[in-house]
Amino acid sequence: MAKVNSYIVPHQFKVIADRMGSKVAMRHKKYGLWQEISWSEYYQESLKLASALIEMGVKKGDFVGVIGENCPEWLYVDMAAQMVGATSVGIYTTNAWPQVKYVVEHSECKVLFAEDEEQVDKWLKFRKGVPFLEKVVYWEDKGLTSMDDDHLERLENLLELGASHLSKNKEIISERSNSITEDDTAILVYTSGTTGNPKGAMLTNKNLLWAAEAIANIDNGSLISEEEEIMSFLPLCHIFERTFSVYLHLVMGYTINFVESIDTVPQNLREIHPTIGYAVPRIWEKFYSKIYIQMEDADWFNRQVYKWAIGVATKYQANAEAGKSQSPLVSFGNLIAQKAVFYFLKERLGMEKMRYGLSGAAPISPEILRFYKAIGLTLVEGYGMTETSATISFSTMNEHKYGTVGKPIPGSEFQIAEDGEILSKHPGIFKGYYKNPEATNATLSDGWISTGDIGEIDDEGYVKIVDRKKDLIITAGGKNIAPQYIENKLKFSPYINDAIVIGDRRKFLSAILVLDEENINKYAQDNKIQYSTYADLAENEEVLKLLDKEVNGVNRSLAKVQNIRKYKVLNKRLYQEDGEMTPTMKVKRNYINETYSDLIESIYA
C-alpha cells in the first residue's frame, strides 16, 4: 500500500526524489532519440529553477503561469513554483491570445513560462494590459533569440542564474517549503467549461496528494506500481493528465514518457509500449476505428481470421459478463484468439504490455469498452472533475461493470440528491473558485460538491452517470432523454466522429453528425466516390446512404422515443479554435445549438 509521507507537495517531491535517486523519472525525445532524466536530475533542475524564481522576486502566494506542450520543462516549472510557495497556473496551448490573457489577468501571474515563439506571440498581443506580469520565459529558441526585450528571458539562462545562487537560496527554499500548509493552494486549474469564461479551481496540497494516494491504494495497491511505464500526451493543465504525470508520479515513482506531439501518439506508443494506458474517450474511439478499418481493408484470409477471433472472443466475454459457464469449445477458441491473433494486433499498436486502460474526462460507449475487453485489454472508466482532484469513483481490473464508472473512491462519501444529482465529499474536494465566491457557494455546501451530473448507484455500489443535469432533453411529449447515451452509440460507428442529439421541447429527436474524416476518405476511395473537399463528402448521396445504415442500426438498439428520426451532416469538423470543443475534446453543446440554429431549424421545418 502506498503511503504519502507528507501532504505538502515540495516535501513529497524531495522524499520520492531521495528514495528513487538514479531511477528514470521521465523520458523525452530529442533529435530523434529518447533521453532519460533521473529523479535526482528532476529534483535538481526544479531546485535550480526555484532558486531563480527567488532571484526574480517571486514570493509565497504569487502566481506563476506555464503554457507549453507536455515536456520535462513543464514539470520543472510546476515543481519550482510550488517549492517557493507560489501557485502554479497551467494554460492550454490551444487557447487563443484573448483566452491566455484572461487567465494571466485573472490570476495576476507574476511570471509566465511560454514554450516557444507561438506562445510568446500570444503574450505580445496583450502585454500592455498586464503590468503585474514581470517576466516571460521561453525554452524553445527558434525565432526568439534575436528578440531584444527586457521582459523576455531564456529558461536556460534562468537555470544558470538559479544554479549560481543555489548555495545562498537553498535555505530560503527550505523555509518556504516548510511554511506551506496542507490547505495552501498548490495549483490553479482553469476549467475547460462548455459555457462562459473558465473558472479557476483552487486545489490544495492535500487535495492533490490525498487523491493521488487514494488512486494508488485502489485494489489494495495492486492497481499501479513504481515499475509502470506511462505516456503523457493529454494537456498537462487538465487535472486528468496532471494527476498521472505529476501527483500520482510523486507518490509512486514510475516513469513518464512525453510524446513528441498529439500527432505522434500512435508512433510513440509503438516505441514506448506502456504498461498502463489512460486517455479521453476520443483517443480510444480513434484506435478502435483504426483497427476496424484496417481489418476491413485486410486480405481475405486475415479478414476471416479476425472475424472468427472477434466473434469467439465477444461470445466468451458476453458469457463472462452474464455469469454463464463457458463451453470448452468457446474457452479454447478464446485462448487461441488471444494468443494467436489479438496479441500480435496489440503488439503492432504498442499495447501488448498494457495491463489495463482507463478512460476518463467524458462518457464512453460500453461497446467500445467491450471491444477492448474482447481483444484482451481491460479498459475501464473513472469519474471525477477538476473540482474533485479528478476522483469521485473508479473502476478496476477486478471490479468493473459496463455502463458504470465504478465505485466511489475509498475514503469518500457519496449521495444522490432528490433530483438525481450526484454529490460527493472527500479530502480531495477543492476549496473554491478563485475570485468567485458566488460560483463557489453554488457548488460547495458543508464540504459536499454538487457535480452537475445526474446519476444512479446500484445495489452493488456501482455508479452510473445518466447525463449532465443541464443537458437532459425533455421532448414535447414530456419524455426525459439522456443525449449522451445515444451520442455514444452513434460515435461507435467508425464513420461518425461526433454526434450532437437535438430534441429539447421538440416532437422528435434529431442529430447533427460530424464525419470521421480519415475513415470516410478511405470509404470514398474504396468506393470510387469523387470529391474535392470534406464538404463534398458531407453532401454525397453514397455517404448519406452509409450514414443512414449506421443511424438505423443504432435506432434498432434504442427505445422508440430515443430514435433519431432525422439528422444533418455538418460540412466541417469541430475545432477548439472555433469555440466548438473543449481542450479535452468535449463538444460545447450550447455553442453548437446557437451557431448552427438555422441548420437545426431546417430539420424541424
Cα radius of gyration (the chain): 25
Phi and psi at residue 512, to the nearest 5° = -100, 125
CA 375 – CA 305 distance, rounded (Å): 13
> Mean pLDDT, to the nearest integer, of 193-217?
89
CATH number of 472-604: 3.30.300.30
95, amino acid identity: N
**Range of lowest pLDDT (32-36, 548-552, 595-599):** 595-599
> Would you identify the CATH topology of the domain 9-204?
Rossmann fold (3.40.50)
Contact predicate 205/8, CB 8 Å = yes
407, amino acid identity: K
Residue 67 has pLDDT above 60, yes or no: yes
pLDDT tens, position by position, 331-388 = 999 999 999 999 999 999 999 999 999 998 888 989 999 999 999 999 999 999 999 9
pLDDT tens, position by position, 48-60 = 999 999 999 999 9
Q: Do domains 9-204 and 279-352+354-469 have the same CATH topology?
A: yes
Q: Residue 587, Cβ neighbours under 10 Å: how many? A: 19
Question: Would you kindly state where each structural domain of the chain is located, as residue ranges?
Answer: 9-204, 279-352+354-469, 472-604
CA 365 – CA 372 distance, rounded (Å): 11
Residue 23 has which C-alpha cell? 531511477
Mean pLDDT of all residues belonging to the chain: 93
Q: How far is CA 132 from each of CA 91, 96, 128, 256, 427, rounded to the nearest angstrom?
A: 17, 21, 10, 34, 33
> Mean pLDDT, to the nearest integer, of 178-192?
94
Query: Going by CATH, does the domain composed of 279-352+354-469 fall within 3.30.390.10?
Result: no
pLDDT tens, position by position, 534-582 = 889 999 999 999 999 999 999 999 999 999 999 999 988 888 777 788 8
Q: Which of 490, 485, 507, 497 is nearest to 538 (CA)?
A: 497
The pLDDT, as a whole number, for residue 406 is 94
Residue 3 has pLDDT above 80, yes or no: no
